[in-house]
Amino acid sequence: MASTSPLRASVNPTLHPAEPDNQAGVWSAPGRVNLIGEHTDYNGGLALPIALPHRTTATVRPRTDGLLRVTSTARPGETVVVALDDVSPTVPGDWAAYVAGVFWSLRQAGYAVPGADVQVASAVPVGAGLSSSAALECAVAAALSDIAGLGLLDDDAGRARLAQVCQVAENDIAGAPTGGMDQAAAMLCRPGHALRLDCRSGVTTQVPFDLAAHGLALLVIDTKAPHALVDGQYAARRHTCQQAASALGVDTLREVSPTDLPEALGRLSRLGDSAAPARVRHVVTEIARVEAFVDAVQADDFTTAGALMTASHDSLRADYEVSCPELDLAVTTALRGGALGARMTGGGFGGCAIALVQQEQADSIGAAVVAAFRQRQWPDPVPFTVTAARGAGRGC
């Protein structure tokens, strides 16, 4: 039975014309893991994600009546129906808000997009910190670009525009105050490469990342610890960083260099916010770690790259306080098993850890993590290896 979405409309934007292309089809976008550079995107910093082989697909057929009908293989028998003119940031939506938000955001940006039937299927684990939401948004955005003849998939500039549209959808309609790293990864990543993303300038650089050529693998460990970005913890840290930047007289914490850090921390400490110095220390040192990680990978120095990953986790645990016991156990067990480096990935408070490992050790390290979780009587984690995959586009 169809259900009516609670979304309401407060605006009816003036749209620029777009030539329609009424061909239905299937589009997909990947999840991502961030190699390093966590909680830096909304601070104007650097991040280094790769796209996962795991993808979300959107089967899309345009409609002429201005309605959006959304179904998902994960919710059999449920259909969400909403008029595009009724989509609004003023009323929270449900899971379908991630889809409806893309239509709304494109219309807000001046693109004429039709109503559509959208069926969603996903192989990206939900709630694991692998950006299943951005994968969903970007699959839908890719479909609408083609269906409405927008041409935004044709080059990196257009893809970056779609990523921005999807970020606005997630922030304003889905209500998750994320930065733009996840959507940029889903749109712009290329096979065999990591994406160096400068979140201040928007400049992206493709960094070769072929671990297999060096006998290495990237092990992802889904801890099964619940992960959510809409429970206030993520927003609280973002707010702290914005307040700290304002107190320091800079637009974003990207303007604070490692050299300037001691003075900045002293100023913040005198203001009496006990959390701000630690949060700022993480952001500034994490941005520096991204640069050092890129240099190490380009020099084939994976020992240094691994050490930087571990240092990143330590900072996220102690200074940013976004880790959890499951993530910490996954990291420490992987390191004891011989991993070159390991860290949590994503927003934190649950989700996944990653480890840089020798190929021949991937299975044994994964098994050791499972055994460690069983010893604590926690649900079994799911370890798996990944390679850098492609961004959003037509097809599965």
SS (H, E, C) the chain: CEEECCCCCCCCCCCECCCCCCCCEEEEEEEEEECCCCCCHHHCCEECEEEEEEEEEEEEEEECCCEEEEEECCCCCCEEEEEHHHCCCCCCCCCCHHHHHHHHHHHHCCECCCEEEEEEEECCCCCCCCCHHHHHHHHHHHHHHHHCCCCCCCCHHHHHHHHHHHHHHHHHHHCCCCCCHHHHHHHHCCCCEEEEEECCCCCEEEEECCHHHHCEEEEEEECCCCCCCCCCHHHHHHHHHHHHHHHHCCCCHHHCCCCCHHHHHHHHHHHCCCCHHHHHHHHHHHHHHHHHHHHHHHCCCHHHHHHHHHHHHHHHHHCCCCCCHHHHHHHHHHHHCCCCEEEEECCCCCCEEEEEEEHHHHHHHHHHHHHHHHHCCCCCCEEEEECCECCCEECC
Catalytic residue among 41, 86, 146, 182: 182
Instruction: Give catalytic status of residue 155 as yes or no.
Output: no
Catalytic positions: 182
